[in-house]
Amino acid sequence: MPVSIPDYTAPALLRNRHLLTIFPSLFRKIQPAQYTRTRIPTADNDFIDLDFSKTGSRKLVIILHGLEGNSKRQYVTGMVHIFNEGGYDTVSMNFRGCSGESNNALRFYHSGETGDLQTVVDYVQKDYESLHIVGFSLGGNVTLKYIGEQGASIPASIRSAVAISVPVDLKDSSFELEKRHNFIYMKRFIRSLGEKLQVKARQYPEKISLNGFSSIRNFRQFDDRYTAPIHGFRDAEEYWAKNSSKQFLPRIAIPTLLINALDDPFLGKGSYPYAEAEANPNFHLETPATGGHVGFVTFSGKHYWSERRAFQFIHDHS
């Protein structure tokens, strides 16, 4: 049964879920990754910026960041370091508009956009004998949805995947983020997304209006007004329903691990898919009691527990 009890326990001083979530971004000291950037074109005349960190390996790990993240976030660079040290090349994918430069198209990125990941797979697979994917939060939802969509037809070069702190049920996790205890996160996300929209509004003034943006307080309002219509969905409900990765988990056909802490402040009850893991031998689920959202802080050694666990799982399936 691919549901197992993980061995992670948060440090005594960081047992609070919000401390675990915030601590890494504020206090973790980590060397920047030594990236080489490559810009690749998309079928719709746009571009994706990829940051490679190479060791000369024939094995590559594709790393996908979370909402409003990028390849420089500490959780991404931590994963880059452990895989480079273990003999893997990595490529950190910046979602459209997240690489420091606004993308060309009206559309940008969202929780279920798997076409760009396929573009990256097509670009890199000719140079590597095996590919693996690690996705965080929103990037984890993209990872799981992509693997489930592919099912048994997934490219033979893709051997395994790990997804960390993933809202596999977008609707109930969006509602969870609306709660009072998550106010600071929601405010930060909306502000950051608003900054990107300001750029888009200058690019497409006839398509995007920021009138009344200051009244937006949550993802339902944001997704109803912007994410859904820009990306071809009727409203937030349809966007969440079609892009939640939970419905794709039964079709996963390669070894895949999901790690969701039980104290993750971002996740609703629907993001703990025990039944799906019990029914699919390829889909493994680990739910530590602590960890926060993309936290899993460890004071012993230079790598966090989530990084060691991801490396172990992928190495076992290389």
How much is the average pLDDT of 264-269?
Answer: 97
Alpha-helix residue ranges (DSSP H) falling in the chain: 17-27, 74-85, 115-124, 138-150, 170-177, 183-203, 219-222, 228-230, 236-243, 274-279, 305-316
Q: CB atoms < 10 A from the CB of 94, how many?
A: 24
How much is the average pLDDT of 177-198?
Answer: 96
How much is the average pLDDT of 4-29?
Answer: 92
**Amino acid identity of 9?**
T
Alpha-helix residue ranges (DSSP H) falling in 63-114: 74-85
| Residue 266 · residue 173 · CB < 8 Å | yes
65, 81, 132, 293: which is the annotated catalytic residue? 293
What is the reported pLDDT for 7? Answer: 86
pLDDT in tens, 209-229: 999 999 999 999 999 999 999
* Annotation marks residue 264 as catalytic: yes
For 3-169+247-316, CATH number out of 2.60.120.590, 3.40.30.10, 4.10.520.10, 3.40.50.1820 equals 3.40.50.1820
Residue for token pair 């430069």: 101
- Of 69, 44, 53, 35, which Cα lies nearest the Cα of 119? 44
| In the predicted structure, residue 186 carries a pLDDT above the cut 70 | yes
| Residue 274 · residue 3 · CB < 8 Å | yes
| Residue 308 · residue 261 · CB < 8 Å | no
| In the predicted structure, residue 282 carries a pLDDT above the cut 90 | yes
Q: pLDDT above 90 covers what percent of the chain?
A: 96
| In the predicted structure, residue 116 carries a pLDDT above the cut 90 | yes
Q: CB atoms < 10 A from the CB of 279, how many?
A: 13
| In the predicted structure, residue 43 carries a pLDDT above the cut 80 | yes
pLDDT in tens, 52-64: 999 999 999 999 9
* Annotation marks residue 137 as catalytic: yes
What is the reported pLDDT for 75? Answer: 98
What is the reported pLDDT for 268? Answer: 96
What is the reported pLDDT for 19? Answer: 96
Alpha-carbon gap, residue 122 to 113, rounded angstroms: 15
Alpha-carbon gap, residue 48 to 96, rounded angstroms: 6
pLDDT in tens, 118-127: 999 999 999 9
Mean pLDDT of the chain: 96
> In terms of C-beta density within 10 A (0-12 exposed, 13-18 middle, 19 or more buried), how is residue 107 classed?
middle
Confidence class for position 175, pLDDT limits 50, 70, 90: very high
| In the predicted structure, residue 1 carries a pLDDT above the cut 70 | no
| Residue 161 · residue 135 · CB < 8 Å | yes
- Of 76, 122, 102, which Cα lies nearest the Cα of 196? 102
How much is the average pLDDT of 32-51?
Answer: 97
Confidence class for position 136, pLDDT limits 50, 70, 90: very high
Q: Computed from CA positions of residues 275, 276, 281, 282, in that sequence, does the dihedral angle turn out positive or negative?
A: negative
pLDDT in tens, 80-95: 999 999 999 999 999 9
264, 284, 303, 306: which is the annotated catalytic residue? 264
pTM of the predicted protein model: 0.97
Q: Give the domain ranges of the chain.
A: 3-169+247-316
| Residue 134 · residue 79 · CB < 8 Å | yes
| In the predicted structure, residue 2 carries a pLDDT above the cut 80 | no
* Annotation marks residue 300 as catalytic: no
71, 137, 165, 245: which is the annotated catalytic residue? 137
